[in-house]
Amino acid sequence: MSRSAGTKQKEERLDAVFSALADPTRRRLLFRLSRGEASVTELAEPFRMTLPAVSKHLRVLERAGLVKRRRDGWYHRCELVAEPLGEAAAFLAEWRPFWDRTLEQLARHVEED
């Protein structure tokens, strides 16, 4: 059975989001951007890495649709795009009944012992 183009595109977007979130540096960058837009230089301050290294992380986040970057003179300003996080949260929410059942079974098993 083939998947529709829309389903495939949605899955690819979700793959990109989870791949981007797999790195702790990128998660910290997103957390910082959740407080408001920032320049690449401002984002790089807490890290012991070069601006090109931070830019590489930002490109991964941009490809996942999590960050939007714009030029402001010499500076690149970045802002969080939260919609893909909502899509990831919705995907994970679909698994909640499974995990609830599994944890309930584990609790019953532990209580029986």
Confidence of residue 2 (pLDDT cuts 50, 70, 90): low
Residue range 53-66: average pLDDT? 96
- Measured in degrees and rounded to the nearest 5, phi and psi for residue 33 equal -70, -20
Residue 53, beta-bridge partner list: none
* Whole-number Å distance between alpha carbons of 54 and 56: 5
The residue behind tokens 């532990």 is: 110
Q: Which amino acid is at 35?
A: R
* Containing structural domain, residue 91: 5-112
* Whole-number Å distance between alpha carbons of 39 and 21: 20
The residue behind tokens 């690449």 is: 40
Better-scored residue on pLDDT, 40 or 96: 40
pLDDT score recorded for residue 81? 97
Confidence of residue 105 (pLDDT cuts 50, 70, 90): confident
Residue range 71-98: average pLDDT? 89
Q: Look at the chain and report how many structural domains it folds into.
A: 1
Alpha carbon 81 to chain centroid distance?
10
Give per-residue pLDDT as tens, 87-104.
999 988 887 887 777 767
CATH code: domain of residue 30: 1.10.10.10
| Residue 1 reports pLDDT greater than 60 | no
